[in-house]
Amino acid sequence: MIRLEKVCKSFGHLAVLRDVDLEVQKGEVVCVIGPSGAGKSTMLRCINHLEAINSGTIYIEGQPVYRYMRDGRLVTDKEKRIEQIRAQVGMVFQSFNLFPHFTALENIMASPLHVLREPLEELKPRALALMAKVGLSDKVAAYPHELSGGQQQRVAIARALAMRPKAMLFDEVTSALDPELVGDVLRVMRQLASDGMTMIVVTHEMGFAREVADRVIFMADGVIVEEGPPAEIFTQPKNERTLQFLRSVLQRRQESGEDTEPTA
């Protein structure tokens, strides 16, 4: 479904991604963990072309996209094709980015209505079904300022799903939420995973990664250091850097009095 081949991304002299290779199969849930500055969020932004890569190739469903070599020359996709690709790969961010002057339902309908030109009479029932899917049927007419952070994030997930994406990217979607609101968002993501949605999830929620992921990737310093099944990564990491990271997470959780079970 998604493949990165020797992807590099720099900001000035700072190399954020260095020859990153990654394959994500259809229906697979991949959780990406690692310290701040590892390049996790930048990788997602490159997959969705919110950041342009410097070198390497990104493939969606086997096709090279955005910027790639063809017959010995560099090809850059036109904006219309980029928009079509983005419609297939939904992304949800830390910040909710909802339109403040739209209701929750209107936020969900906005992109399919204006980008896909979907008829309102067909779109509205589907948008209402998505509101029910994320547990917000009673908030259809609410404006963003009337919703909690967790509710806004669930609207943001429903908005991404309204474009009928083939894959979803989640960038630390619970990090801006109060702890008591995190569970509702993770429940929606668990349901998406069980429904077979292809997902790449950058997260600091180790319990979620251990429970839901088919594969966990540990990134540091712009490279994929280690990857494997959750049980292997969390209990028997092979790389010393992975072990150090998990120990630091465990120590932080112990100091804050949180449940420590998900980490090595």
Per-residue pLDDT reduced to its tens digit, 85-129: 988 999 999 998 899 999 999 999 999 998 889 999 999 999 999
Which candidate, 251, 165, 222, 201, places its Cα nearest to that of 11?
Answer: 222
CA distance 205 to 249: 10
Coil/strand/helix, residue 79: helix
How large is the average pLDDT for residues 72-92? 92
Report residue 13: phi and psi, to 5°: -90, -5
Q: Element (H or E) spanning 122, and its range?
A: helix 120-133
Q: Are 168 and 195 in contact (CB under 8 A)?
A: no
* pLDDT tens per residue, range 125-141: 999 999 999 999 999 99
How large is the average pLDDT for residues 82-87? 90
Q: Are 53 and 20 in contact (CB under 8 A)?
A: no
CA distance 79 to 215: 33
Q: Element (H or E) spanning 6, and its range?
A: strand 2-11
Percent of residues, the chain, with pLDDT higher than 70: 97
Structure token pair of residue 63? 């096709």
Q: Are 152 and 96 in contact (CB under 8 A)?
A: yes
Q: Where are the alpha helices (DSSP H) in 36-78?
A: 40-47
Separation in Å, CA 150 to CA 51, 77, 166, 182: 27, 36, 24, 7
Q: Can you give the C-alpha Rg of the chain in angstroms?
A: 19
Q: What is the pLDDT of residue 257?
A: 66
Sheet holding 14-24, edge to edge: 14-24, 2-11, 55-60, 63-65
Structure token pair of residue 152? 């806004």
CA distance 33 to 249: 11
For residue 176, what pLDDT band results from cuts at 50, 70 and 90? confident
CA distance 38 to 224: 9
CA distance 35 to 149: 24
Q: What is the pLDDT of residue 253?
A: 73
Q: What is the DSSP letter of 97?
A: -
Q: What is the pLDDT of residue 252?
A: 79
How large is the average pLDDT for residues 202-230? 96
Report strand pairing: 63-65 vs 67-70: unpaired
Q: What is the pLDDT of residue 258?
A: 61
CA distance 40 to 127: 31
Block residue for tokens 């979620």 = 208
Find the range with the poorest average confidence among 16-30, 81-95, 223-237: 81-95
CA distance 18 to 7: 7
